[in-house]
Amino acid sequence: MPELLKPKIHIKTVYQLDTDLLKKNNIKGIIIDIDNTLVAWDARDLDEKTKAFIKDLRKKGFNIGILSNSTKKRVARLNKDLRLPAVCNACKPWKYSYKKAMKIMNIYASNTAVIGDQIFTDILGGNILGLYTILVDPISSKEFFWTRLMRMAEALVLKRNNFSK
């Protein structure tokens, strides 16, 4: 698999995140995607389990931020309780949005992980900048039309390179 499309690790859900492994890799900041990473694509709010998960990451000393291709309105609604630094309308995988998130969070690429459910956006963008990339399985099969098309391309890349998702 081309290295830029390969995540550092793959986990089923964000709840399987090994924070000790992140600390061993000197990760101080975590940039997290929203749709199908933290919540289903059509969810209107973060559930209590997800809020507790984010709060726990913060208690463990991680600086958390959101990077999403979603609109400002959607990100604001989902982020209303947590009030995390957020970059919306991100145009991932463009590196500008990742750099903007890191600047807002006051972190460096060498100490940053990115978590997301898409290879051609979250993982590719993170790898371009040398971030510690973490791929999660999508929460739901219900997705934006464009994302469904990208999933087909992802499946071909994964199958061709014997990488399971």
Reported as a single tens digit per residue, the pLDDT across 22-41 is 999 999 999 999 999 998 87
Q: Domain spanning 3-109+128-160 has what CATH number? A: 3.40.50
Establish how many alpha carbons lie within 13 A of residue 122's alpha carbon, considering only the half-sphere containing its beta carbon: 32
Using the predicted structure, report yes or no on whether residue 163 has a pLDDT greater than 70.
no
In this structure, are residues 162 and 132 in contact, taking their beta carbons and an 8 Å threshold?
A: no
In this structure, are residues 63 and 107 in contact, taking their beta carbons and an 8 Å threshold?
A: yes
For residue 82, what is the DSSP state? T
How far is CA 137 from each of CA 1, 25, 37, 63, 141, rounded to the nearest angstrom?
18, 22, 8, 23, 10
Return the higher-pLDDT residue of 112 and 160: 112
- Does the reported pTM lie above 0.85? yes
What are the domain boundaries of the chain?
3-109+128-160
* CA R_g for the chain: 15
Q: What is the pLDDT of residues 54-96, one digit of tens each?
A: 999 999 999 999 999 899 999 999 999 999 999 999 999 999 9
